[in-house]
């Protein structure tokens, strides 16, 4: 895993857009003065900057837990089938609006066993069918005790670019950054059926800092 992804505080995915919006606002203000249009351009610069913020997070030290891979709101907690491994699972979905931090962090420590990308539609990420019909990228991780979880990045109505920086065989630690989705989107986590969810629908979560579920320890 590339430890340089992304730059702390401001995600590198936004550097060009932030720089461009700043330059536009500065040039307009310089030539036309600070008026209504200039104010709008500076507000745009601030909005772009806040979207690409990437603050450091404190990683919980409790054993056998699954951390939230992103900021957002819990929109689903249910038993289902993991479509990427074809096994029974508990699905916990996190919806991210455009005001949430949009980098993705590993919910567990483990090895990337598979990465599966699927092109698709760009439905509103708040819709249930977005998880199966939208553009998405799944990362299957194998824990040291043999358990597996799948984390899925799902594109939304506005988000049309999923970025994933890991590949099969990479090692990830808890809270390690591994991806980014531009603008509103959704994250899904497929967990073992005996996992104990620690969140409820409607609850707001923070990437890395919020514990989504507790896993039952296994012996290999």
The tens-digit pLDDT sequence of the chain (220 residues) is 444 444 567 777 778 888 899 999 999 998 888 888 989 999 998 988 888 888 888 899 899 999 999 999 999 999 999 988 889 999 999 998 888 888 899 999 999 999 998 876 655 555 555 566 678 899 999 999 899 999 999 876 655 578 889 999 999 999 999 988 876 688 899 999 999 999 999 999 998 999 999 998 877 6
The predicted structure's pLDDT at residue 127: 55
Distance (Å, whole) CA 6 – CA 12: 6
Distance (Å, whole) CA 35 – CA 65: 52
Cβ within 8 Å of residue 154, ≥6 positions away: 125, 130, 131, 134, 135, 136, 181, 185, 186, 187, 188
Q: What are phi and psi of 148, to 5 degrees?
A: -125, 145
The predicted structure's pLDDT at residue 136: 84
Q: Under a CB-based contact definition with an 8 Å cutoff, are residues 6 and 54 in contact?
A: yes
Tell how far CA 76 is from the center of its chain.
16
> Reduced to 3 states, what is the DSSP secondary structure of residue 114?
strand
The yes-or-no answer on residue 185 being catalytic is: yes
The predicted structure's pLDDT at residue 2: 44
The whole-model pTM stands at 0.82
DSSP 12: G
Distance (Å, whole) CA 90 – CA 67: 14
Cβ within 8 Å of residue 179, ≥6 positions away: 103, 104, 137, 139, 153, 162, 163, 164, 165, 166
Distance (Å, whole) CA 31 – CA 41: 13
Q: Under a CB-based contact definition with an 8 Å cutoff, are residues 164 and 179 in contact?
A: yes
Token duo for residue 94? 């996190």
């Amino acid at each position: 895993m590339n430890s340089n992804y992304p730059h702390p505080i401001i995600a590198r995915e936004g550097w060009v857009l932030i720089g461009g919006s700043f330059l536009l606002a500065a040039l307009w203000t310089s030539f036309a003065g600070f008026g209504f249009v200039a104010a709008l351009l500076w507000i745009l610069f601030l909005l772009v900057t806040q979207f690409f913020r990437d603050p450091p997070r404190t990683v919980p030290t409790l054993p056998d837990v699954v951390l939230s891979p992103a900021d957002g709101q819990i929109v689903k907690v249910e038993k289902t089938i993991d479509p990427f491994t074809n096994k029974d699972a508990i699905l916990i979905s996190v919806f991210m609006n455009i005001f949430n931090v949009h980098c993705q962090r590993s919910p567990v420590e483990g090895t990337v066993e598979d990465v599966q990308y699927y092109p698709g539609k760009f439905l509103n990420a708040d819709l249930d069918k977005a998880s199966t019909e939208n553009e998405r990228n799944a990362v299957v991780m194998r824990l040291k005790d043999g358990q597996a979880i799948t984390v899925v990045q799902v594109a939304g109505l506005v988000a049309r670019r999923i970025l994933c920086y890991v590949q099969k065989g990479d090692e990830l630690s808890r809270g390690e950054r591994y991806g980014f989705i531009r603008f509103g989107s959704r994250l899904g986590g497929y967990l073992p059926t005996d996992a104990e969810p620690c969140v409820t629908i409607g609850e707001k979560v923070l990437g890395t800092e919020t514990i989504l579920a507790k896993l039952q320890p296994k012996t290999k």
